[in-house]
Amino acid sequence: MERNADRYDLQYRTAADDKVREQHRAMNGITLPSTDPFWKSYYPPNGWNCRCTAVQVLKDKYLAWDPVVAMQAGDKATGSPKQRIFRFNPGIDKQLFPPKHPYYKLSKQEAEKVKEVVGKMVQTDERPMLNIAELISGKRITYDNIGTIMSEHARLFPDDYNGGLLEVVIKHSNSAFMSNGRYINRPGNVLTVHNYKFRLLRGQSVEQFNPAREVHDAFQAIVNGQTLTFNQEYAMESLWHETLHAKAKGLVKNMMPAEITIIQMETVNQFVARHTYPQFIERFGGKATHRESVLKEGYGYARYVTNFRAILDHYHIDEAETVEALKPALLNEPYEMVGNATIEYLKQKGVKDAKKTNGKPMEYPSIV
């Protein structure tokens, strides 16, 4: 973060719901340079089950706080003896737990057990799992809970949100299933899930699909220990599609590029999302059981993904290999370059004219 200190400050954000502690609410919006001493002591979390986060914000958009006032708010939030243990920054101090944490009082046998468990987590790349029922303090999901759940996901998986997750909005709109406000390369993500009943073609039948309702019901099914329906599972895939946008570098020019550039990028993003969304569902304690159906019959960018998969199939190009080959370009390169990277990959695999398959023109628009 210090590399961008000339352009960005850090801003303290709470989960912005009725469960936020008053002392933490008082710190909401604290904006200071990343080098300010405040962050050494009060970088979140600042208490047990704290859901606060810190995000980068443009210096010219938010006024910096008085450092003295900020420190006073931090002191008050962590004033009790048990809370003072949180007055440290693991990134700056380069240690997982503060010096006086009870974990350091483990017996030698217990310490070895902890090392063994941590070692296995590192070897298997195990990530934390979000307990939805525990997070919402109950078993009944509300639409407001979607924001709470995704904010906790952003806290547990900060690398998935370039600049942090600023807000989750449920909105009545038929412009898209979902959207992400950080489409252009800038800090912070606003995830919007649309509460609208779409009528869509799936195979030979017409289906109704309400993204917000299906996300809500997917989280409810996970809490209830139920198997997700196709629509619920696809809604989670769509949520993962937008999360990939949040993770990516994005557009680097402050203008929308040619339509074909967007189509190429979105095709790759959707292709990758359809292959990798099961791990996303597992983070919430659920399981994907409609993987093949979502891959073949998913609603979003269906024509383009169908065409792309037909190209891979015609040239006997492995889809899993293609996912791994294209992910670096999708996430780390400017969106303007994703199409070129994809075309170059296809050419290396022997694709000469992806607009034709089996000697016949493709029914759907081609990616190249």
Q: What's the pLDDT tens digit per position in 240-250?
A: 999 999 999 88
More confident residue, 118 or 166: 166
Question: Cα 157 vs. chain centroid, distance in angstroms?
Answer: 7
Find out whether the peptide bond into 45 is cis, omega within 30 degrees of 0: yes
- The arithmetic mean of pLDDT across residues 335-343, rounded, is 92
Spatial CB neighbours of 357, under 8 Å, sequence gap ≥ 6: 310, 311, 314
State how far the Cα of 346 lies from the Cα of 315, in Å rounded to an integer. 9
State how far the Cα of 283 lies from the Cα of 289, in Å rounded to an integer. 15
Classified as helix, coil or strand, 164 is coil
Kindly tell me if the per-residue pLDDT of 330 is higher than 50: yes
pLDDT number for residue 364: 33
pLDDT number for residue 120: 56
Model confidence at 360, pLDDT cuts 50, 70, 90, reads: very low
Give me 15's structure tokens: 């989960």
Chain segment 30-69, per-residue pLDDT in tens: 999 989 999 999 999 898 889 999 988 888 888 899 999 9
State how far the Cα of 280 lies from the Cα of 295, in Å rounded to an integer. 15
Residue 14 burial (CB < 10 Å; 0-12/13-18/19+)? buried
Chain segment 139-171, per-residue pLDDT in tens: 899 999 999 999 999 988 988 998 889 889 999
Kindly tell me if the per-residue pLDDT of 324 is higher than 60: yes
pLDDT number for residue 33: 92
Strands (E) located in 105-223 = 165-171, 178-180, 189-194, 198-202, 205-209
By the 8 A CB rule, do 259 and 339 touch? no
Overall size of the chain counted in residues: 368
Give the type of residue at 273: A
Kindly tell me if the per-residue pLDDT of 76 is higher than 70: yes
Kindly tell me if the per-residue pLDDT of 107 is higher than 80: no
Give me 73's structure tokens: 């708010």
Kindly tell me if the per-residue pLDDT of 267 is higher than 50: yes
Kindly tell me if the per-residue pLDDT of 301 is higher than 70: yes
**What H or E segment, with its residue span, contains residue 209?**
strand 205-209
Phi, psi of 202 (to 5 degrees): -125, 110
- The arithmetic mean of pLDDT across residues 112-133, rounded, is 64
CB atoms under 10 Å from CB of 326, counted, come to: 19
Question: Cα 275 vs. chain centroid, distance in angstroms?
Answer: 16
Which residues share a beta bridge with 179? 192
- The arithmetic mean of pLDDT across residues 253-269, rounded, is 83
Question: Cα 94 vs. chain centroid, distance in angstroms?
Answer: 25
Above pLDDT 70, what percent of the chain?
A: 83
Kindly tell me if the per-residue pLDDT of 358 is higher than 70: no
- The arithmetic mean of pLDDT across residues 344-350, rounded, is 91
Domain spans in the chain, listed from the N-terminal domain onward: 2-93, 132-361
Q: Which of 101-105, 255-259, 278-282 has the lowest mean pLDDT?
A: 101-105
Kindly tell me if the per-residue pLDDT of 180 is higher than 70: yes
Model confidence at 122, pLDDT cuts 50, 70, 90, reads: very low
- The arithmetic mean of pLDDT across residues 6-19, rounded, is 86
Spatial CB neighbours of 62, under 8 Å, sequence gap ≥ 6: 9, 11, 31
CB atoms under 10 Å from CB of 168, counted, come to: 20
Q: Which of 136-140, 209-213, 362-366 has the lowest mean pLDDT?
A: 362-366
